[in-house]
Structure 1
Amino acid sequence: MSMPSKWEIAQFWEQGRNRDEFAPHLSLVEPCCFACGWFSECWEEKTPRARWRRARLERAHIVPRSLGGPDTADNLLLLCRPCHEDSPDWADPRQMARWIATRAERPSKEVETFQAWFAAASEAPEFRDAVASVATEQNAQERVMDLLQGLMAQAGTHFAVGTSPGTRVAVLRTAAERIRSWDKHGMSDG
């Protein structure tokens, strides 16, 4: 028997009798971690099934396979990576339910990304100053966004991490240097 799809697992728990204990944050419309409520990226997929398929959620056993737990929807939850790594590996399903009940909520991927960039900006005050110096110029917002997107396209990523905090700071510092070099009147790249 094959492992159930993420959509099949979500559908099972949406109608399951223990939904409140094992999937308190579940909504079939938007994929989220059953334990902490973390929303994966918002995909522009047309159907909930397609959104669940793309969601960055992991199948996690309530009772681990190594302790005799089956690969069935009633023994699988969809968890974000931190929740999956922290969840109990125990033969008694009640321990998983208790763990979920005390799990703190986690913000969405978009909020986490915003918080990461906000933290990087605090380490690169020169970026704030550079943006302030051109803020009143025509098309400044578009130019700064284009610059940041271009710099991000040049950045490397860490496997399983994505964009590191240090990379974000480097992008902002480089952007500050480039913004300062723009011609004040035409805002042309220098």
Structure 2
Amino acid sequence: MPKKSEIAKHWREKIFEIGLFMDWGEPACWSCGAYDSENDITDPNTPFNEIFLAWDKQKYLERCHIIPRGLGGCNCPGNIVLLCKKCHRENPDTDNPSLFLKWMTKRKNFGTRRYEELKTAFTEFDLELNTLNFFVYAYSEIFFNFVEKKAIAVRGKYTDSTRVSCLLEWLEQYNTQELIKQLPNEMQGYVKKRILE
């Protein structure tokens, strides 16, 4: 099985031909764009060949066969792309490479998918996913401490439904101004402005 850096090098020019853009110094899932910036190359003087070595450090990226091994696909760089675990699980396992590449280029990015998941969780509790609710949910350390007291993390994390149910209780205790003050200082002005629009 080739290294991730070898796969990235193989695709460095071909990736644009299939309609994708890739910043090789910021390793990301080739389908949804999910990334972890911990191993990004930030030095603009880094030699091009060394940039690809950052791909080997990305534990969240998996090697995914375009044509599965069980259908005759090889372990060669041209038959392998780098996907996050979620995209790897959900990719089409067929012997048609053009349909695989179509799926990969048309898949919604992780931000859009994450927003839809979060919106569903809010809707299930008849709660609006508005600017204030989202920022309290995502950025209020005081709220997160409340979640830790009221709920339990399963497999190391709180589900969206757990956090949204805690948010319902939390919102009942505070008015809008008090909620805004719970946010980090740099976010308070932005949230106030969005609420007034």
TM-score range, shorter chain: 0.5 to 0.7
Over 3 Å counting, the alpha-carbon distance change for 1:21 and 1:9 in structure 2 is same
Select 1:43's aligned residue among 37, 42, 65.
37
Q: Partner amino acid for 1:85?
A: R
Stretch moving more, 114-123 or 26-35:
114-123
* Conservation of the 8 A alpha-carbon contact between 2:91 and 2:103: yes
CA gap 1:44/1:80 in 2 versus in 1, 3 angstroms: closer
| Residue 10 of structure 1, CA deviation | 1.9
Amino acid at match of 1:19: I
List gaps (5 residues or longer) in structure 1: 133-140
Matched, 1:171 2:166: yes
**Aligned with 1:175: secondary structure?**
helix
1:31 aligns with: 27
Unaligned runs of 5+ in 2: 42-50, 183-197
1:2-59: CA deviation from partner (whole Å, max 9, x where unpaired): x2333332222114xx323557233212233323xx2324433353644663363332
Contact 1:126-1:176 at 8 Å conserved across structures: no
Between stretches 147-156 and 5-14, larger displacement belongs to 147-156
Give, in whole Å, the separation in 1 of the partners of 2:7 and 2:71: 20
Q: Secondary structure of 2:140's match?
A: helix
Other structure's SS at 1:28 match:
coil
TM-score normalised according to structure 2 size:
0.57
Question: Given that residues 22 and 100 in structure 1 are in contact (C-alpha distance below 8 angstroms), is that contact kept between their aligned partners in structure 2?
Answer: no
- Is contact 2:64–2:83 with CA below 8 Å preserved after alignment? yes
**1:148 paired to 2:143:** yes
Give the paired residue count: 160
Call closer, same or farther: CA 1:150–1:45 in 2, change over 3 Å.
farther
Question: For 2:60, what is the secondary structure of its paired residue?
Answer: coil
The residue that corresponds to 1:137 in the other structure is: none
Bigger-Rg structure (1/2):
1
- Answer whether contact 2:29 2:82 (CA < 8 A) is retained: yes
Give the CA RMSD over aligned residues: 4.0
